[in-house]
Chain A
Amino acid sequence: ILNVEQSPQSLHVQEGDSTNFTCSFPSSNFYALHWYRWETAKSPEALFVMTLNGDEKKKGRISATLNTKEGYSYLYIKGSQPEDSATYLCASPDTGGGNKLTFGTGTQLKVEL
């Protein structure tokens, strides 16, 4: 059974602050790590799928890094804006076949003016 953990559980920052949060996953038998952004009342939106150790991906002010040897990924948001307020989820796929994702509990980000 995969154990995916995220921290912190919630985060309040001021507009313009940069922030980051962590996703931990089992390093053995790693294949990929998915990041999603989930705004209230909307669908979860795929941000990144990361597969290579040391990989860094970027989408606008959001970036993510991956360390498969120690089993963690960081998500960074530079110059947070109120529209960044959302729950950020990471998920690890089950390598037993199929498309099953095991999700962490998410980090709820609130960006205040």
Chain B
Amino acid sequence: DAGVTQSPTHLIKTRGQQVTLRCSPISGHKSVSWYQQVLGQGPQFIFQYYEKEERGRGNFPDRFSARQFPNYSSELNVNALLLGDSALYLCASSLQGSSLATEQYFGPGTRLTVT
């Protein structure tokens, strides 16, 4: 079975532009979470979606938005890019929407560079 897939792998944008990152969860998983990882830090939670509804939002500005589609894939959108948005964006999927002891399966990430 395919794991979590993300596209694109790498992306270079300039300040002020908008970007869309995509994630396909493991087949059968209905929950998708997004994390931002900058060098030297652990991944920071951005959003969780379950059954197409937002289940959680981290401490990120409104420039960040996401959605989940009927096939449970998800998109993360970031508007008005800043240099500080340069990071690795990870997507994680899980079977359940709210189980603290459920394993989450991560994709390889999208490396976003803002110049």
Mark A residues whose CB is within 8 Å of B: 4, 31-32, 34, 36, 41-46, 49, 51, 89, 91, 93-95, 97-106
Contacts and interface: CB of A to CB of B under 8 A. Distances in A.
Interface residues of B, number: 33
B106 interface: yes
B3 interface: yes
Given A31-B101, A42-B108, A43-B106, A97 B56 contact: yes
B interface majority secondary structure? loop
Contact of A99 (B4, B48, B106): B48
A99 B101 contact: no
9 contacts: A34-B103, A41-B108, A43-B105, A89-B42, A89-B43, A91-B42, A98-B48, A99-B92, A101-B43
Contacts of A44: 43, 90, 106
Given A91-B42, A100-B33, A51 B108 contact: no
A105 B42 contact: yes
B25 interface: no
B64 to A, nearest CB: 15
Contacts of B103: 34, 46, 49
B52 to A, nearest CB: 14
